[in-house]
A and B are shown apart, each in its own frame.
Chain A
Amino acid sequence: MITFSEEKLTQVKELISHYPEGKQKSALIPLLHMAQDENGGWLDASAMDYVAEILHILPIEVYEVATFYSMFNTKPVGKYVLEVCRTGPCMLNGSDEIIDYIKEKLGISEGETTTDGLFTLKPAECLGACGYAPMMQLGKHYREHLTKEKVDKLIEELSGTAKN
């Protein structure tokens, strides 16, 4: 069960004010992003119900949206979600090799999380970084022009940060 802090609730209020009166449901997707961040990277029923309550809409209106959009995770994920693009332009620049390398290195398949709960591998469809391929999304940012060496370094860094 999540609850937004006072600061977050002010943000919510501000967000809702962007839309006409009575159309507060428009803030649903932005609010789900906030709820997912608050809830460790995924949305469980209670987090979705909380958002429904804030917006005065039915829980089903939230569930049907959360399950439609690929950025919302309805199952638990690792601390770091490696979303590697595999659509055409990235494939031309070797995204398949990068995905295979990550699988081998972390010992997980697509959609799985490492046993220490650190990494989830989530293959993604086109993320709009085709000229900087291969690439992945990690949290709020993109990691572009990936190589095996860069993947090694990234995973090492993230594992180190998690330990400290």
Chain B
Amino acid sequence: MGVKLLLEHDKVEGIRYYDAYRKHGGYRAAEKAFKMSPADIVEEVKKSGLRGRGGAGFPTGMKWSFLAKPEGVPRHLVCNADESEPGTFKDRYLMEFHPHLFIEGLLISSFALGSNATYVYIRGEYAWIPDILEQAIAEAKHNGWLGKNILGSGFDCEIYVHRGAGAYICGEETALIESLEGKRGNPRMKPPFPAIQGVWMRPTVVNNVETIAAVVPIINIGGDEYAKIGVGKSTGTKLLSVCGNVKNQGVYEIDMTISVEEFIYSDEYCGGIPNGKKLKACIPGGSSVPIIPANLLLKTAKGETRYMNYESLSDGGFATGSMMGSGGFIVLNEDQCVVRHTMTLARFYNHESCGQCSPCREGTGWMYKILKNIEYGKGKMSDVDLLWDIQRRIEGNTICPLGDAAAWPVAAAIRHFRDEFEWHIKNPEESQTRNYGLAHYADPIHVPATA
């Protein structure tokens, strides 16, 4: 059993409610934090090495230290609970089953950043979760953890839950801020960064739900101790949401020291691929990160064991590696069609493009159209190179990272599964009745011997 910091009390009856949470050590970190200075809390978070859990992996302590503190201007913590990256459902789990852990994290972070009004921007589709959060907020308030002069510190804090209405783009922090202001979710040009001018042009920190929850164990055990868990720059624990073709789909907490193979095949985690099927491919960090075939997933191109952490998953760069991303772990078995899967993702990004930047607005639709043609037996051989060309012209040429997020899945699918695309095009009829199958995607990789 690995270390559990966030889901330690996952099996405790009633942990969703205040009494059980408090009985099991809840709000102890808040008590400790209110005896510290805000600057010391930021320092602990810096020492912990915590990296943003939304997908980008930016060091949280550093993000916090960028927050401008002009005299007389209120500043805000805004929590990004817009979880919309396909394959990702870990924040939902935290909010639904551990709302007080989340509220405690929000409280400590608000105190550290000096946010008297903190907002939780939650995706509109999670329509039942605001009720859970609002109940937890009411319980916390009733017990003196929110409201005026918390624990006699002179610090006031209110937490407001704000529902979105269905837009993946609002997971991008400046689009989220626009949306919170009651506008379309169009990302802003940066600079200025939200830390200087965020919501209502006030200094703002936007953090993911899991990042905020992780602040609780960091304060409890101290930043140094937290940093000892995990490996290298992948400190602490990470939640992974697993879906696709594995026996035990769901949310897991890992300490980032286990191998990908153990994660997929051990009964403690995914439990292997059901029905005796073989592993074909995996998208390890949410739909935007590169898909890699089985043989590059379990071992790196150098033939070394691949581990479930930021560095190891990205070993080899985009040529032979992928990314930890948001922790949305999508597994494809030998029966799955990479062309069809990529087509659904292209449709997704086309649907979700806000339309501000031409490369993304036009490119995502064009890629979807071509992929649809290939999938339905109407592809041309030149389409594969055309797809490659389009994705290359989207990447890096847009205001926000949605362009990259739409380009990478297509690029990686062509990079590693080009022959599957070509097979579709050469066999327009056969490809409508059967899939390409496992082919060579799980074959051992030849590692050149070094002298």
Contacts and interface: CB of A to CB of B under 8 A. Distances in A.
Interface of A: 18, 20, 23, 25-30, 32-33, 55, 57, 61, 64-65, 68-72, 86-89, 91-93, 124-133, 137, 139-141
24 contacts: A18-B119, A25-B182, A26-B182, A29-B182, A30-B162, A33-B124, A65-B183, A68-B354, A69-B164, A72-B165, A72-B166, A87-B345, A89-B87, A89-B244, A91-B340, A125-B86, A126-B85, A128-B84, A128-B89, A131-B242, A131-B249, A131-B250, A131-B251, A139-B127
Interface of B: 74, 83-89, 92, 117, 119, 123-128, 158, 160, 162-168, 179-185, 200, 241-245, 249-251, 283, 287, 328, 330, 332, 336, 340-341, 344-345, 347-348, 351-352, 354
A87 B344 contact: yes
9 tightest A-B contacts by CB? A28-B182, A69-B165, A130-B243, A70-B166, A71-B166, A25-B182, A131-B249, A126-B86, A68-B184
A29 B245 CA distance: 36
A126 B88 CA distance: 9
A20 to B, nearest CB: 6
A141 B126 CA distance: 8
Contacts of A124: 125
A71 B125 contact: yes
Given A128-B84, A130-B88, A69 B124 contact: yes
A111 B84 CA distance: 22
Contacts of B119: 18
Given A26-B180, A131-B241, A131-B242, A91 B341 contact: yes
B160 A125 contact: no
Nearest to A36: B165
Nearest to A132: B249
B342 to A, nearest CB: 8
Contact of A128 (B117, B125, B182, B340): B125
Nearest to B246: A131
Contact of B341 (A26, A88, A128): A88
A29 B255 CA distance: 38
Contacts of A18: 117, 119, 158, 160, 162
A100 to B, nearest CB: 14
A33 B165 contact: yes
B125 A137 contact: yes
Given A68-B167, A87-B344, A88-B345, A130 B127 contact: no
Contacts of A86: 344
A87 B84 CA distance: 11
A71 to B, nearest CB: 4
Nearest to B159: A18
Nearest to B86: A126
A96 B328 CA distance: 21
B86 A92 contact: no
A33 to B, nearest CB: 6
Contact of A65 (B83, B184, B244): B184
A69 B125 CA distance: 11
A28 to B, nearest CB: 4
A13 B241 CA distance: 38
A125 B351 contact: yes
A126 B328 CA distance: 12
Contact of B328 (A72, A130, A137): A130
B344 A88 contact: yes
Contact of B165 (A25, A32, A89, A128): A32
Please indicate which of the listed interface residues A55, A125, A126, A139 has the most CB atoms of chain B within 10 Å of its own CB.
A126
Given A26-B182, A71-B165, A129-B89, 18 more contacts: A20-B117, A26-B180, A29-B163, A29-B165, A30-B163, A65-B182, A65-B184, A86-B344, A88-B341, A88-B344, A89-B86, A89-B243, A125-B352, A128-B83, A130-B328, A130-B330, A140-B128, A141-B127
Contacts of B344: 86-88, 91
A126 B166 CA distance: 10
Contacts of B125: 71, 124, 127-128, 137
Contacts of B336: 92
A70 B167 contact: yes
B260 to A, nearest CB: 18
Nearest to B76: A20
Contacts of B83: 128
B86 A88 contact: yes
A27 B354 CA distance: 21
B341 A131 contact: no
Contact of A88 (B87, B117, B167, B251): B87
A86 B87 CA distance: 12
Contacts of A25: 181-183
A129 B243 CA distance: 9
B126 A128 contact: yes
Contacts of A127: 125
A26 B181 contact: yes
B166 A69 contact: yes
Contacts of B84: 126, 128
A64 B167 contact: no
A129 B164 CA distance: 17
B172 to A, nearest CB: 14
A146 B164 CA distance: 26
Contacts of A33: 124, 163, 165
B348 A71 contact: no
A53 B184 CA distance: 19
A65 B352 CA distance: 14
Contacts of B158: 18
A38 B83 CA distance: 27
